[in-house]
Amino acid sequence: MVPTPSVNADVPSLLALTAGRLHGRTNIGADMATRIPDPHLAHINPVRVRTPQGCEECLSLGTPWVHLRLCLTCGHVGCCDSSPMRHARAHATELHPIVLSMEPGENWRWCYPHEAFV
């Protein structure tokens, strides 16, 4: 759980508090007004979903998955960290850092190197 900064908190304290966990968020309560850009956003490309039917490796191995994540660099579909094999995380590198949730009704991206929503 992320502690809530006080109204009188100074900017360096807020930045230290949010480093790595809320990278790229637009605010923390009413205290943080600036956005910290994630340099990995430059790796996002227009992609074609390589295996729309499921996790690429789980389909080959015959293993189950829980949720799916789409690599926004190459279109690889991998299973989430709640899945037994965690293929999306295994695929993620500095060159393939950001995934998009493929779950219906979800519209978020995750940066694996920063462990943060972007």
pTM of the model: 0.70
DSSP state of 12: H
Q: Tokens for 30?
A: 């009413």
Kindly report the CATH number assigned to the domain that includes residue 110. Answer: 3.30.40.10
Q: Do 73 and 21 share a domain, yes or no?
A: no
Q: Which domain holds residue 22?
A: 1-36
Measuring CA to CA, which residue among 85, 84, 87 is closest to residue 70? 87
Residues 76 and 113 in one domain: yes
How far is 43 from 66, CA to CA, in rounded Å? 26
Q: Are residues 46 and 32 in the same domain?
A: no
In a shared domain, residues 73 and 98 = yes
Per-residue pLDDT of the chain (118 residues; tens, 9 = 90+): 333 333 333 323 322 323 333 344 333 333 333 456 899 999 999 999 999 999 999 999 999 999 999 999 999 999 999 999 999 999 999 999 999 999 999 999 999 999 999 9
Strand order in the sheet with 109-111: 77-79, 68-71, 98-101, 109-111, 116-117
Contacts 24+ apart (CB under 8 A), 16-20: 20/114, 20/115, 20/116
Domain match, 45 and 74 both: yes
Question: Residue 108: what residue type?
Answer: W
Task: Give how many domains the chain has, as a whole number.
Answer: 2
